[in-house]
Chain A
């Protein structure tokens, strides 16, 4: 067995024996994936319960209720029955309803005349999106009524014969707004919180391996083990390589376990297996390279903790592991692409959205380029650290 592999296996045995590696590499990301999955179950899509308090009971209010129950709209709002306006208010306040519509008495008559009238949307301060969406639905409905009234008024004001009012009214009632919204579907799949946070948290906790490896390297140095290894026929960089190898194996085991368990148990989508594996291996190599760099950058064993913590948390903050980076402002999304984990998340997001395996070529190349730079920096400093 090569000295580096022997050192790596010894390190892994130590870490697994004191259970810290099990907690960070497997238990913690799994627990957090469970919490995420449970928290966001059923909340991926906007949907809210609403009620209509119909004081009008005329043809226009009936058309409004029919619009709310139509196939497209009923995916957004689900109509519930309430006893009256007071109950609707109470249920909106309690959060049982997202919003409620109140159609006043005489609404149908007013809609067909020139009298002012309105639909009231009862909303809550705690359900702003439901309030806005329900207002939009009501406005979409009243828009055609408004347009028909405006059409008659504009025709008369432009010189149409006033005696033809009834004819104009009948004709305007058949009009449809010339601007309509159509929905186009990109295809692909909906990004879910579980599918985002499963790899995100897995990478976050795998990065703790950097600190383990680097700390272990300096422990060997302090205890004089490193000097004895240097004096042995083992290659000069065997210890550093061994520590990095231990981090790589820890990282690969942790990420693979997370991918399998979250996919099977919680339905997380990591994309096609070969493509996901390519990202996982690239992240593992980057983490191992970072272990070597942190080991060689620190000047004392006290500094190792500080440098490892700053590197780990700096990367996860910048790379978007703490928040759904897609929803962050543009500048933060661009900063995320300075990190290997940011590129990894870009790759996973593209895979989850239904793109083919080729979507990971750029992320894997970017992560690999990062790794090469880090390895070069670590190699340049390694001799000084090992022999000093």
Chain B
């Protein structure tokens, strides 16, 4: 009963606090939107195209070909200067300055398609390879038409029409792609990436920043007064733990609901997702209560909590997939509990895994939660029993 009374009081304090509500739901949703929009298309090269001044018949054909390349995310620029500025600022990897003229002109005098990049990086070569293969069929048609016109003595336009017709039925020297695996180790880019990773990030940050409330309770001498009453220390400690846990679970459920209803995120197997939400809330609770017993002032808690949460979130793959960092950093990243939680969400969302599929991650997170909550309870119990030193 004491525990519930303490937890209830703590929860009332949080729900009346507009700042807490801002961090609980508004901020995570805003960041989900921001990160979701930004990482969407991160698996493609961003390329700008600039149409030429004057005759643009050939440029239109090449634009259609470039639009079809899956590896390229194409945006259009009104002029070469605007495209160059975008390249310099990293908004696009390269700008394709399309050539002026017609197909017939290109067939008689070879045409260069200029790709402007910011520096002599390997991206330049990768983008160039993608553009090269995209415009190659048009180049093949032009080569064949010019060759046929020369050797058969027919007009270029007639030869081009014949080449186009033949190209459609040509015996191919083709390129087949064989994907050797089906189990993705990266969350789908977009909101399905940002919603689970921000859940992991913000539940932890909110719990550790919420330690300020425990510090304040201690500094105000509320534990001393409560201890003077006929209540058990275990009740007070349990109450504090339950309050932090309830907030962590509430925030998780809100993010899951907003993700599912607002952004169409499929959170995977319901039982496994519920287990993961529960275990992660326990990790956050352990970290939050422990932080409340370690920090001396609420300012310290408010300062260190978010900083620690962001740093661990970065290490653990909340801000970018750990697949893109070096293997050494991936290993170091798994020192952060966030990495195990993100791995588990990846198994559920990207690979349609079930409870068994995330058993290892749940076990690791469970062990971390037990250690953190154990330490937190021991320290808090000691502080409740000792008079407050402010």
Interface residues on B, range: 35 or more
Q: By the criterion CB–CB under 8 Å, are B125 and A120 in contact?
A: no
B residues 161-198 with Cβ under 8 Å of A?
Answer: 162-163, 166-167, 170-186
Residues of B within 8 A of A111 (CB): 173
Task: Report the minimum CB–CB distance from A332 to chain B (whole Å).
Answer: 6
Interface residues on A, range: 35 or more
Any B CB within 8 A of the CB of A10: no
A residues 155-187 with Cβ under 8 Å of B?
Answer: 155, 157-160, 164, 168, 171-172, 175-187
Stretch at the interface among A146-154, A245-253, A364-372, A374-382: A146-154
Stretch at the interface among A20-28, A223-231, A281-289: A20-28
Residues of A within 8 A of B112 (CB): 180-182
What is the predominant secondary structure among interface residues of chain B facing chain A?
helix
Residues of B within 8 A of A205 (CB): 307
Residues of B within 8 A of A18 (CB): 296-297, 299-300
Q: By the criterion CB–CB under 8 Å, are B122 and A324 in contact?
A: no
A118 to B172, CA, bound (A): 8
What is the predominant secondary structure among interface residues of chain A facing chain B?
helix
B120 (CB) vs chain A CBs: closest residue: A185
B35, B114, B329: the one contacting A323 at CB < 8 Å is: B35
Q: By the criterion CB–CB under 8 Å, are B113 and A179 in contact?
A: yes
Any A CB within 8 A of the CB of B130: yes
Q: By the criterion CB–CB under 8 Å, are A45 and B121 in contact?
A: yes
Residues of A within 8 A of B177 (CB): 120-121, 123, 131, 135
Q: By the criterion CB–CB under 8 Å, are A72 and B179 in contact?
A: no
B residues 284-300 with Cβ under 8 Å of A?
Answer: 296-297, 299-300
Any A CB within 8 A of the CB of B231: no
Residues of B within 8 A of A (CB): 17-19, 22-23, 27, 30-31, 34-35, 37-38, 42-46, 62, 69-71, 75, 84, 87-91, 97, 106-107, 110-126, 128-149, 151-154, 158-159, 162-163, 166-167, 170-186, 296-297, 299-300, 302-304, 307, 310-311, 314-315, 319-320, 323-326, 329, 332
Q: By the criterion CB–CB under 8 Å, are A119 and B326 in contact?
A: no
A89, A136, A168: the one contacting B132 at CB < 8 Å is: A136
A residues 339-381 with Cβ under 8 Å of B?
Answer: 346, 349-350, 353-355
A5 to B75, CA, bound (A): 52
Task: Report the minimum CB–CB distance from B338 to chain A (whole Å).
Answer: 12
Interface string of A301-324 (1 = CB under 8 A from B): 011011001100100010000111
Residues of A within 8 A of B107 (CB): 178
Instruction: Give the 8 A-B residue pairs with the shortest CB-CB distance, closest first.
Output: A143-B136, A28-B307, A132-B71, A147-B140, A139-B133, A158-B152, A177-B139, A179-B139
Residues of A within 8 A of B186 (CB): 126
Q: By the criterion CB–CB under 8 Å, are A31 and B129 in contact?
A: no
